[in-house]
Each structure stands twice: as structure tokens, then as C-alpha cells.
Structure 1
Amino acid sequence: MMPRLKIALRVILALFYGYAGYVHFIRPEPFLAITPDWVPYPSAVVWWTGIAEIAGAIGLLQPFSKQLRQAAGIGLALYALCVWPANINHFMMDMGRADGGLGLGYHVPRMIAQPIIIWLALWVGGVVGAKQQP
């Protein structure tokens, strides 16, 4: 049961990241809007993060190399950690709006989901949770 669940979640996470990476190219404006001011060259950063998401998705989906899936899992986990400031910035910007933006019902689950997504990338990539052999 667990291997099927892990494979299904790996495919779902890969599809999520692949689609998100694609959206970085066709509609970068929302990503640029939440990029913190201290990030240099925001357009280039959004472009390269789209590349990173697509590359990670491809790495998770390939069936031939455990090491490549692990590298993709680590890369996507680090990616999710590195974009967390943009999510926090979006939360603060939205909550500062007169209408409250998307509200706590959107942002609180998103903040809680970020460490889960980090762990999920590591788990489905085979980095954590596997029995280690001596």
C-alpha cells in the first residue's frame, strides 16, 4: 500500500511543480507581485524558479535513477524553503490591504502547508523515510 501511495504522491507533486513552473513563464505577474523588494533581478528570479520547478518535476518522475529522484526531492525541498519569504511577503501584503486580501483562511493553511511540502518532496524523492542499509 505505501509504495503505491508514495508513487501517487510523487506524481501529484511533480504535476503540481511542473504546472507551477509553466505558469511562471506564461503569467509571471503574480509571482513578481509577491517577490520581496530585497530580491535582486526579480524577473530573472521568477524565470529561473520556473526552470527549477520544471526540472524538479522531471527529476521526480523519471523511473531509472534513485539518485536523480533524490536530487530532485532535495532540490524541490530547498526551493520550497527559499520561496517561503515570498509567501510570507504575500501574507503581509494581503493582510495589510483594507479588504484583507485573500484572508487568513487562505494564508494560514498556506503557511502550514509549506513545511509539509518540504517534507513531502524529501519523502517522495526517497531522501527521508527509507530504511538505511549499513
Structure 2
Amino acid sequence: MEPRGLPLVIVPFAVSGVIHLVRPETFEPIVPKPLREWSRELVLASGVAELACAAGLLHPRTRPAAGLASAALLTAVWPANAQMSVDLGRRANRRRDAKSLTAFAVSLARLPLQVPLIKIAWAAGRP
């Protein structure tokens, strides 16, 4: 039986994974500062991981391992999402325009939304 909400993990992973591979420069600025030396490699690796998790969640046989991997991946990238919010907050404070403030607000709202995605992925990992 497919856990409720599984497409909420699969679709963003698939879309984001492709973007990570096609336009890695989009994600490099949000790699936390201590890891910036390896930002390109980390972005590409996370894109591959997202695609592998999305594919693994599709099939019941691979879903348990993919669910646990997805929960771990979502937890691992949380610092990058937090870094993105910090950076967007600084930009919004400097620019004080609607676009910057909106981007900052969206990034803040996204952080707690990752918790239900982790729970869905974790549930998928339990046979």
C-alpha cells in the first residue's frame, strides 16, 4: 500500500533532481559556507540522490529503502534550505523590495513544510 502523500515527495524530488543536474549554479549559493569548496560536487550528488529516491519511491519493492534514503536526504539538505533563508533575508533587508521580501517569506515558509515531507518519506520506508 502506498503511503498517503507520497507524490508530495516524489514529484519535487524528480523536478529538483533534474534542475540540480541541468542548472547546478542555481543551488550552489545555498550550500552552507563550510562546504562551499565542494558546492558543485554536492549539488550534483544531491541531484542524483533526489532522482534515485524519486525513482525508488515509485515501486513497492524499492520503496522501503528509498523512503529511508529520502527521509535522510531531506534532513541532510535542511541546512542548505536554512542557508538560503538567511541569504534571502539579508538580501530582503538590503533591497526592501516586494520581490526580495516575498522570496524571503516563501523560503521561511518552506522550512517547516519539510517536516511533513520527512514524515511521509519515513513512513514509506517502513514496510
**Cross-structure match for 1:89:** 83
Structure with a larger share of its residues in helix: 2
**Cross-structure match for 1:103:** 104
Aligned residues: 119
TM-score, with structure 2 as normaliser: 0.83
Tell me the distance in 1 between the aligned counterparts of 2:8 and 2:87: 30
Larger C-alpha radius of gyration, 1 or 2? Answer: 1
**Cross-structure match for 1:75:** 69
Question: How much identity, in percent, do the aligned residues show?
Answer: 29
CA deviations on 1:18-67 (whole Å, 9 max, x unpaired) are: 1111111111112101111211411111111011001101110014x1xx
Tell me the distance in 2 between the aligned counterparts of 1:126 and 1:24: 24
Instruction: Tell me: CA distance 1:12–1:94, structure 2 relative to 1, closer, same or farther (3 Å).
Output: closer
- Alpha-carbon RMSD across the aligned residues, in angstroms, is 1.9
TM-score, with structure 1 as normaliser: 0.79
List 4+ stretches of structure 1 deviating above 3 A: none
Structure 1 unaligned blocks of 5 or more = none
2:54 equivalent to 1:53: no
CA contact (8 A) 2:70 2:121 kept: yes
From 20, 25, 28, give the equivalent of 1:24: 20
Structure 2 unaligned blocks of 5 or more = none
Tell me the distance in 2 between the aligned counterparts of 1:28 and 1:57: 19
From 11, 14, 20, give the equivalent of 1:15: 11
Query: What amino acid does structure 1 have at the position aligned with 2:24?
Result: P
